[in-house]
Amino acid sequence: MRLTVVLGVVLILGLAVLWFAGTAHAQGPHQHGAQPTQISLSSQDVLPGIAHGVTLGAAVFLAGLVAFVTLVWRPEGRVGDADQEKAIKLFCRSMWVLVALLVVAGLVELPFYAVRASGEALSLGLLREALFDTRVGQLWSERLVFGILTAAVASYASQPWRSSYWWMAALVASALLLMTLTQQSHAAAEESFLPVVADWLHVMAASLWMGGLLGFPILLIGPLRAMPIETRAELLGRAVPRFSKVATMAVMSLILTGLVAVLLHVPNFSALIDTPYGRALSIKLGLLAFLLTLGAQNLRLRGRGPFGRFVGAELILAIGIFVATGFLTSLPPADAAQQAIEETTPNSLEGIRQPPMPKSPLPPNASNTSAQSATEAASNAVVRVSGTPGTEYSGVYGAEAGGTTTVEGTLGAEPKDYEIKAKDGVSGDISAAFERTRPDTGSLKVEIVVDGEVVAEREASEERGRVTVSWSPPSEATREIP
């Protein structure tokens, strides 16, 4: 136990150092005289990320409880005078609590999405539009329907005279619930069958594992507490090994499907430190490693000794993992964010339009003023997103002097402009990375517009729905060349 606590403290400190070191590295000076590029998590992303993490956790725990009852508790819960049906009813009440949590998390997440996607102040009309006219709102409605359906079918199946097939029906409903999470993930934007299937298997494997992490604490604070010690020990001695077999298969699936996601969205090791997505992923992997350590310890205990305390610690770590995953879904992938960082260097992309060279030399006494004006010109800049109406997108944009902003939205008949945040009237290098958030053939074009003039542009291809673009204002030396 002491060794586990020490390892946990060391791990948490290491993850904290990794996060802040990554932030410092992203904001520190670059080589060859380049200006620092600020890639940090804005305060506008924190609460939506937490809310989405709660949504993920509620959906996965709900599906996991159904799997725990069906695969573990019902086959192994009949021991001596153990009241199996009482425990199942307690599980069903917990499922309805998770459905309520889905509703609350959605009521927090949806308004933030509406404001970020539109750039407007929150209003009832804007909220109605986000709920009925956007993919995110539609998925939230579907998620709520499947969540209620899962809890209702499980409650119906909990009656003693009901057939076991009803629990299988609850499992199918919970699998559809988890599909709504995949449809809002980065995998859906890849426009390929493999990433979508891998992500769906990933969340289903997570639900198999997390169901037991919630199921055992419910048993320990409920029916098992009133049981005789011998009956409780016998019941846990049968249920824990059975759950361990399910969890082992789930963890193997998590590793394989998680590897697919890492290969798709993390181009290199430095992206784990240089981007918010990479740092959130590093924290998730660190918590997962600690969770696996506690799980192995519980397997050895087989329900004896400090089993209850270890399961409680696992549950807390699982909640932390869901929060980190909520940020992963809300943030642009590491490959898109890192490409946007690297492309802030002038002329780093082919096919990007750069401002023309001046045709006449500047007056001798005007060089400093001209250089300042060229830099300040970028303060009146916007990132313009256009394309096929109805195309849903997400992205990150910003300037080295003003930080980055993450946005989501749906294209309409008119282009959508996002104003660049400047610091002290100067923005400096500007970059943007956007992607389509659902598989379709809609076009997506991103432009950087300075003082009404398009200075850089790029359009996503049909094969890959991701596009990055950047622009750097002319330097003083460039402006002085006759």
In sequence order, the 6+-apart residues with CB closer than 8 A to the CB of 190 are 196, 264, 439, 465
Q: What is the mean pLDDT of residues 441-453?
A: 84
Give the model's pLDDT for residue 440.
Answer: 58
CA distance 155 to 16: 42
The answer on pLDDT for 162 being more than 70 is yes
pLDDT level of residue 180 (50, 70, 90 thresholds): very high
pLDDT-derived band at 339 (thresholds 50, 70, 90) equals low
Q: What is the DSSP letter of 149?
A: H
pLDDT above 70 (res 449): yes
Question: Which pLDDT score, from 0 to 100, does residue 481 have?
Answer: 43
Query: How much is the pLDDT for 268?
Result: 76
Angle at Cα 166 formed by Cα 165 and Cα 172, nearest 5°?
Answer: 95
pLDDT at residue 303, rounded to an integer: 57
How much is the pLDDT for 422?
Answer: 59
Task: Answer yes or no: is pLDDT of 346 > 80.
Answer: no
pLDDT, mean of residues 115-142: 83
Question: Is pLDDT of 480 > 50?
Answer: no
Task: Find the mean pLDDT for residues 155-171.
Answer: 88
Q: What is the pLDDT of residue 77?
A: 60
Q: What pTM does this model have?
A: 0.65
pLDDT > 90? residue 178? yes
Sheet holding 444-450, edge to edge: 416-419, 381-387, 444-450, 453-459
More confident residue, 238 or 3: 238
Report how far residue 138's alpha carbon sits from residue 53's, in angstroms, rounded to the nearest whole number. Answer: 18
**Mean pLDDT of the 347-374 span:** 38
- Per the prediction, the chain carries an average pLDDT of 74
* Residue 91 predicted with pLDDT over 50: yes
Mean pLDDT of 69-89: 75
Residue type for position 56: L
Over range 139-144, report the average pLDDT: 92
How much is the pLDDT for 40? 47
Helices marked H in 343-389: 367-377
In this prediction, residues 184-207 reach a mean pLDDT of: 84
More reliable by pLDDT, 339 or 161: 161
Per-domain boundaries in the chain: 2-21+34-335, 343-480
| pLDDT of 414 over the 60 cut | yes
pLDDT in the model for residue 151: 96
Q: Among 90, 77, 28, which residue's Cα sits nearest to residue 239?
A: 77
Q: What angle do CA 454, 459, 462 make, to 5 degrees?
A: 170
Q: Find, among 200, 108, 189, 199, the residue nearest to 393 by Cα.
A: 189
Give the residues across from 456 on adjacent strands.
Answer: 448
- Label residue 283 exposed, middle or buried (CB < 10 Å: 0-12, 13-18, 19+): buried
Predicted local confidence at residue 353, as pLDDT: 34
Q: Round to whole Å and give the CA distance between 14 and 69.
A: 37
- Higher-pLDDT residue of 245 and 466 is 245
Select the more confidently predicted residue: 244 or 224.
244
Alpha carbon of residue 288 to chain centroid: 16
> Which pLDDT score is estimated for 350?
36
User: What does each C-alpha distance from 450 to 268, 355, 455 come to in angstroms?
Assistant: 33, 10, 7
* CATH number, span 343-480: 2.60.60
Rounded CA separation 11/287 (Å): 8
DSSP bridge partners of 459: 445
Residue 95 scores a pLDDT above 90: yes
16 pLDDT higher than 60: no
Weakest-pLDDT range from 162-176, 313-327, 459-473? 459-473
Select, from the ranges 96-100, 242-246, 252-256, the one with the highest average predicted confidence (pLDDT): 96-100
At residue 169, does pLDDT exceed 90? yes
Q: Is the pLDDT of residue 36 over 60?
A: no
Place of tokens 């394989």: 256
Q: Which residue has the higher pLDDT, 141 or 286?
A: 141
CA atoms of 235 and 81, how far apart (whole Å): 10
Position 45 confidence tier, pLDDT thresholds 50, 70, 90: low
pLDDT > 90? residue 187: no
Does the pLDDT of residue 444 top 70, yes or no?
yes
> What is the model's pLDDT at position 133?
82
Length of the chain: 482
Which band of pLDDT confidence, cut at 50, 70 and 90, is reported for residue 336?
low
